[in-house]
Structure 1
């Protein structure tokens, strides 16, 4: 079972997800957008699985600091461009497990995923 968690290491939600995985003895790989990079192919593949609307973290500081015109004109292409330029704009964590994709962390959902 291949499990990878994607995000930014100083994110509190990432820390919670990693702690949960470790407590459940789930082996995983962590991919930090800032340290390990973020390539366009991965971004496009993930967007196909999840949709850009799901991936954009509208509650985060990075998104809120965008001009209102930019927010109003968001499209698949512009969202992908912004997420590549500002990885903090991607909701966290993104979990890839056995070829399936999940966004966010809730212990109940992780219990179902790893049951």
Structure 2
């Protein structure tokens, strides 16, 4: 299982701790320290589309108008912090966020 996020993101930290506590083997990938490849990013965009960009974040609001009007791939490549997180890859299945639905799917009760 791979968790894509930021080491400083509280939601990513909660997800990682919960998954590890449930006995899941996690590989954490900080997308700022180790950016996504074009292929990886294209795969995530194909799965989640525009939902992959967190348009409510301060980082998104700080983007210049040209980037705001660009594709999600350009926005995330320019500023990885605008990616909605965490993104969790469990074998071939991808999950976005850490809400009750994702938690129920990854940590059976």
| TM-score range for the pair, normalised by the shorter chain length | 0.7 to 0.9
TM-score, normalised to structure 1's length?
A: 0.83
For structure 2, the 5+ residue unaligned runs are none
Indicate the RMSD between aligned Cα atoms, in angstroms: 1.7
Corresponding residue of 1:21: 19
Q: Within 2, Cα distance between the matches of 1:15 and 1:34?
A: 15
TM-score after normalising by structure 2: 0.87
Cα contact 2:35–2:80 (8 A) shared by 1: no
Q: How many residues align?
A: 108
Distance across 2 between alignment mates of 1:113 and 1:26: 9
Between Structure 1 and Structure 2, the one with more helix by share is: 1
Partner of residue 4, structure 1: 2
Q: Is the counterpart of residue 109 in structure 1 residue 102 in structure 2?
A: yes
Q: Structure 1: where are the runs of 5+ without partners?
A: none
Task: Measure the CA separation in 1 of the matches of 2:20 and 2:77.
Answer: 29
Q: Does 1:82 align with 2:80?
A: no
Looking at both structures, which has the greater relative contact order when contacts are Cα pairs under 8 Å and sequence separation is at least 6?
1
